[in-house]
A and B are shown apart, each in its own frame.
Chain A
Amino acid sequence: MKKKKGKIILAVVVGIFLFIQLYPVVWLFMASIKPSVELATEPFALPQNPTFVNYIDIFNEGSIFRYMWNSVKVTVTSILLILVLSSTAGFALAKFNFRISKPIYAFFTFGIMIPVQITLIPLFCFYSDMGILNSPITLVLPQVGFALPLSVMMFVSFYSFVPNELIEAAVIDGCSPYGAFFKVVFPLAKNTVITVASMYYILIWNDFIFANTFISDNKAKTVALGLRDYVGAFGNVNWGMTFAAIAVTILPPMLVYFALNKYVTAGMTLGATKG
């Protein structure tokens, strides 16, 4: 009897926590299908006259496609670079027998402590000297740099599970170190690749601080910046359109997350527990 009571209390507490975590998200989708009058007067009630006019408005207005395309460009380039650089560097650190590997690995992990804000002023100056402010590359550079510590760590920790004998065998069979990497080791790292990619996909897609500093041109804005631009007739924020835009732009990370959530959370936990 006592046990059953405990179970019920547990379920209720878990339910309350879950409600707190999910309510704002549910509210967001509800707000996006409310007509603007209703949003202003009854922002927290269930939608009485659901409408998709906000969605039609943002699609007609059209800038959302540009924002998303810009974000796609930055995100895809960054992830490709992160994967190429960290899978190779991880291989060098885990599978070559040099004494210098250990300090270099420590040097990479040191980066986890560095706050990203430190780069803003120097990179801003550097970019404006080069005249490349407002180009997607300005976002790729710091994104990749700050992703490397954790992603290198994740690849090293995976490679250390690949038995050395496997590589020795490949070398005896006439593989060069490059062959051993491309034909033997890298194909095994599929899970790590998906983990790193899905984790950083979400982080980079949502980036605000770099975009806000290096991008000011409307044509180059990414979603996180563009979301602040839905302004109505009198210079006020058009909340209905803003919420609809938010709902559309969080869909891509949501889809990836629900499809690959095992990998996403695996990345976070692995990164944290393997330290």
Chain B
Amino acid sequence: MNGVLKDKKAFLAFLLPALLFYLFSVFYPIEESIRLSFMKWGGLGEKKFIGFQNYIHLFSDKVFYTAFFNNLIYLVIVVGIQILVGLLFAVLLTYLTKGVSLIKTLYYVPCIITTVAVTQLFRSMYATQPVGIINQILNAVGLEKFATSWLTNVKTVLVCVSIPEGWRYTGMYMVIFYAALISLDPEVCEAAKMDGANAWKTLIFIKLPMIKEVLLLSLTMVLTGALRGFDIPFILTNGGPGNVSELMSTYMYKKAFGSNQFGYGSAIAVFIIVESMLVVGVLRILFTSKEERNERRIRKNARKALKGKQKRQGA
């Protein structure tokens, strides 16, 4: 980020179009959401300022709590599938010698299929009428008692709307982890082997810590992605039956566009943003170890000292 050009006008000419576009399409809506979250507004007519009323309502709204806890379960399932399966498969792939690029290519396919297709697919797999493949398998292996109407059973529906989301992006994280793993210096692993570490230990104590940065970024992407989970639950069950599979963003959508409570919907939207930012912040702190923080401070102090020295010499 240390360029050479110094022409101010040209700098602005290159930067401003994107910056203005970005401000207008991303930050103007944020500002508007925050503003609307203090209003009562039915979509038509006057907006009425009501202070923190929407937020007070939010924290006493039972459905909101349901949506919040559902979202946590959804998050655990999606993170579990995407990160763990993605990582496991990436590790397996590093041991493979032939056909890696073909497998990578094919494994990624679910990521490029439209959500509507993914949900229709899972809908017919979960179905009871005609009997979907999941119930068919259960019947075939003699577990009829577990066969159920997956999407209307209050006990199973939340898990059932989480799985497709986890499944479809696993390939993406696999590709990311694989790229990080094969870029590691093989000599380090060789050295670990010489010191008597087995494959498992090398993975846990050497390889994973070395791709920490990538893990952090992937986790950030998965977590914020899961907090805003919308498409699949919305199309599959629309939060139903009742509010059993309601997520925060489907609830926001229903409130705003279903019952025209735009102010209340905005309050939920603001909550989702704040929550995403908190999660990212906590992750950053968790992943920066104590030594690293110390190291960073030392480096900063050293830079300051150096600058001071240069200044004094200059004077």
Question: Are A and B associated in one complex?
Answer: yes
Q: Which residues of A contact B29 (CB under 8 A)?
A: 118-119, 121-123
Q: Which residues of B contact A145 (CB under 8 A)?
A: 21-22, 24-26
Partner of A41, one of B24, B115, B130, B280: B130
Contact with A along B27-43 (1 / 0, CB 8 A): 01110110010000001
- Whether, in the assembled complex, A72 has its beta carbon less than 8 Å from a beta carbon of chain B, the answer is no
**Which residues in A have some Cβ–Cβ distance to B below 8 Å?**
10-11, 13-14, 17-18, 20-22, 24-25, 27-28, 31, 40-41, 43-44, 81, 84-86, 88-89, 91-98, 101-102, 104-105, 108, 111-126, 141-142, 144-146, 148-149, 152, 156, 160, 164, 167-168, 171, 176-178, 180-181, 202, 205-206, 208-209, 213, 223-224, 227-228, 239, 242-243, 246, 249-250, 253-254, 257-258, 261, 264-265, 268-269, 272-273, 275
A-B residue pairs in contact (CB < 8 Å), sample of 24? A17-B89, A17-B92, A21-B107, A21-B110, A88-B15, A88-B17, A92-B14, A93-B1, A94-B3, A96-B7, A98-B3, A104-B19, A111-B22, A117-B252, A117-B253, A119-B29, A145-B26, A148-B21, A148-B26, A208-B231, A228-B116, A250-B113, A257-B112, A269-B179
CA distance A261 to B15 in the complex (A): 30
- Whether, in the assembled complex, B93 has its beta carbon less than 8 Å from a beta carbon of chain A, the answer is yes
Q: Number of residues in B with C-beta < 8 Å to the partner?
A: 95
CA distance A164 to B110 in the complex (A): 41
Which stretch (B57-65, B149-157, B269-277, B293-301) binds chain A?
B269-277
Which chain B residues in 1-17 approach chain A with CB under 8 Å? 1-8, 10-15, 17
Nearest CB in chain B to that of A86: its residue: B18
From residue B34, how far is it (CB to closest CB) to chain A in Å? 9
From residue A231, how far is it (CB to closest CB) to chain B in Å? 13
Most chain A CB atoms below 10 A, which of B89, B117, B214, B218: B117
A-B contact count (CB 8 A): 279
Nearest CB in chain A to that of B6: its residue: A97
Are B26 and A113 in contact, with the CB atoms below 8 A? no
CA distance A148 to B18 in the complex (A): 8
CA distance A239 to B108 in the complex (A): 26
Q: What would 7 more interface pairs be, CB under 8 Å, given A21-B109, A264-B112?
A: A22-B109, A24-B118, A84-B17, A102-B1, A118-B270, A269-B180, A273-B180
Are A105 and B1 in contact, with the CB atoms below 8 A? yes
| Contact A114-B26, Cβ < 8 Å, known A21-B171, A89-B14 | yes
Contact with A along B91-130 (1 / 0, CB 8 A): 0110110000001111111111111111011101100001
Are B109 and A117 in contact, with the CB atoms below 8 A? no
Are A152 and B273 in contact, with the CB atoms below 8 A? no
CA distance A238 to B109 in the complex (A): 25
Are B5 and A25 in contact, with the CB atoms below 8 A? no
Partner of B4, one of A97, A113, A121: A97
Partner of B117, one of A28, A105, A148: A28
**Which residues in B have some Cβ–Cβ distance to A below 8 Å?**
1-8, 10-15, 17-19, 21-22, 24-26, 28-30, 32-33, 36, 43, 85, 89, 92-93, 95-96, 103-118, 120-122, 124-125, 130, 132-133, 136, 167, 170-172, 175-176, 179-180, 213-214, 217-218, 220-221, 224, 227-228, 230-231, 235, 249, 252-253, 256-257, 262, 265-266, 269-270, 272-273, 276-277, 280
Q: Which residues of B contact A41 (CB under 8 A)?
A: 130
Are B120 and A246 in contact, with the CB atoms below 8 A? yes
Partner of B19, one of A14, A89, A115, A121: A89
Are B3 and A97 in contact, with the CB atoms below 8 A? yes
Are B179 and A89 in contact, with the CB atoms below 8 A? no
CA distance A173 to B180 in the complex (A): 41
| Contact A246-B117, Cβ < 8 Å, known A95-B3, A177-B5, A272-B221 | yes
Q: Which residues of B contact A122 (CB under 8 A)?
A: 28-29, 32-33, 36, 266
Are A243 and B19 in contact, with the CB atoms below 8 A? no
